[in-house]
Chains A and B, each alone.
Chain A
Amino acid sequence: MSHGKRFGAPAALAAIVFSVFLFSCSDDMEGVFYSLEIEEKAADNSLPNALAVSGDIIKVTAGGGITEDRYYIGAGSVFYRAASGGAWARIPPPFRGGMVAGIARAGSDIFVAVSDGSRHGLFKLDAAGTAYVPGSLYSDKQIQRLMSVNDTLFAAVGSQQGLNRDLLYWDGAALVSTGLSGHTVEAGAWDGTAYWFVGKNVFRYTGGPGNGSSTPYSHSELSGKTGFSDIFADAGTVYICTSGGDILKTPDSGVNWTSHYYSRNFTSIAKVTSGGESIIILGEDGDGVFELTDRTGNDVAAGIQQPGGNFRKLPDLYRSTVLRLLGDGTQLLAGTSSVGAWRGDYTIPDYPVWSQE
């Protein structure tokens, strides 16, 4: 046997195996080396970068003792900064180990739900919005979600095990029942006609905030859909998303609906406006955010896309789970589950500039 033949078979085998692995099999959206090549250092404000923003993002306009428009973020503690920019300040919790479950403004008051697992309560910030007013306003049940709908404070309460659920509202002196109980409530909105609340089901009612009912809203377009994760009202048009991938829209308070299914886990909805375009943004579990491609009619069936600009150059952002969104003109704040909050500046709608708060 010649020397060449002796090494022929192993060499051929090695060549075959090498060829099989030459072309990478991947479930990733992006090439490994490519993602490194395009990565750029994220601009970073002073908010800690490893925060879970599980307690809402709100904008508070100047008024009363608050001298400037501000953003407030519930991420363990309450953090705030001027909407025009600047560093974030932290408000220590009202009791040791307290974590923010929700933050909302109703009237001139900023309410914060705080819990440490065993203790929990509803607190209010002082007139300047920089410290807690001592004393809990409510502590019967744990507040799971806090929201401001039609300038009224609503609190979804229940045990940690998900029992004894109620939706309460602030009547000016205390949290009282809306009449909606026994259901999870994740978010709420007011479309100018009706109150809407979503959770496992959708609820709609008119009249005062206390006119709720535990009977879910029903419509053929909502049939078979569940896990409603957020609702957003934009001048009478209501958008709802689900963790299963549905986006629904009604322009007339529930008379007509359109919906579309995308294979995504949507978590939240917001809107930014810039250059005559209104861009509906959806938070997503694992891929950051998506935009509705239709920026004039906001047709939910027209498709979704990831933002342009430097979005795809920031892996911490585009691989994040976005829990909360706040749209404020050309600015978008996105609160994530583990990499803090990010700001998208949509001054140029097709080229938003993203930075880490």
Chain B
Amino acid sequence: MKTKPFFWAALLLFAASGLAAQTPRQGSDDGDDYRVVPTYSLGNQMLMINAGLFVPLFFQSPAGDIRSTNLSLGGVGSLQWSAFLNNEMTLGLEGGGMFAFSPNERNLFMLPVTVRYAYILRWHPLEFPLSIAAGFNFTKLDSSFQILPILKPGASVYWNYSPEWAFGVNFIYWWSPNLYTGATPPRSQSRFGNFLEITFSALYHF
């Protein structure tokens, strides 16, 4: 159970590396086979809006014990801006939020603000960005408010509808440590939050 997230991450990377070996066909002028494969360079940007489901996976203690989050299935949404460093890499900012409910209808809100790096594998008209985001997770439960760190590795699939517009789905893992070192709350209440974001995206290149 402890290695679950890493197993899935490795599987995704393996699948993506196979796709990376494919060489996308370039556009040509010889008749019906003509297709425009967009390329991007430094200075190109994109905006993305994401919305979907938030799946609470588990909490993990520093000792490795896995516990239920007790949270309901939730909702998540975000806005993202990225700039191309070259045709394969983007760097950007993402802000979003999620909500889910505890057994007694308490609301958990988490609003991560992250810096996101993505490496894009292409198999036109599909794109397969592999991303990692890191930042701060503004977390609120009832009257408790904390700023936690967060890491969000993920993989996506986008279909390029046009050179400007693409649509797709994201599978983003949220890993957010909630660690304590003082007397209250005690160290024994430290937990690593593990969640999964499944979102649909609309992406605009400009």
Contacts and interface: CB of A to CB of B under 8 A. Distances in A.
B142 A319 contact: yes
Interface stretch (B1-9, B16-24, B188-196): B188-196
B143 interface: yes
B70 interface: yes
Interface string B119-150: 00000000000000010100101111011110
A163 to B, nearest CB: 35
A23 B141 CA distance: 18
A270 B181 CA distance: 36
Contacts of B142: 315, 319
Nearest to A319: B142
A29 interface: yes
A36 B102 contact: yes
A279 to B, nearest CB: 24
Interface in A36-52: 36-37, 39-42
A35 B147 CA distance: 16
Contact of A23 (B70, B103, B179, B193): B179
Contacts of B104: 39, 41-42, 314-316
Interface string B144-176: 101111000000000000000000000000000
Contact-size category for A? 20 to 34
Given A18-B149, A36-B108, A29 B185 contact: yes
Contacts of A28: 144, 146, 184-185
A72 to B, nearest CB: 26
B98 interface: no
Contacts of B141: 32, 35-36
Nearest to A19: B149
Contacts of A319: 142-143
A36 B70 contact: yes
A319 B104 CA distance: 13
Interface of A: 14, 18, 21-26, 28-37, 39-42, 314-316, 319
Give the 10 A-B residue pairs with the shortest CB-CB distance, closest first. Answer: A31-B189, A34-B189, A33-B191, A41-B103, A31-B185, A33-B178, A28-B144, A37-B67, A21-B149, A24-B146
Given A29-B185, A32-B146, A35-B144, 9 more contacts: A18-B149, A24-B146, A26-B180, A31-B180, A31-B189, A33-B191, A34-B189, A34-B190, A40-B103
Interface of B: 59, 67-71, 102-104, 106, 108, 115, 134, 136, 139, 141-144, 146-149, 177-181, 184-185, 189-191, 193
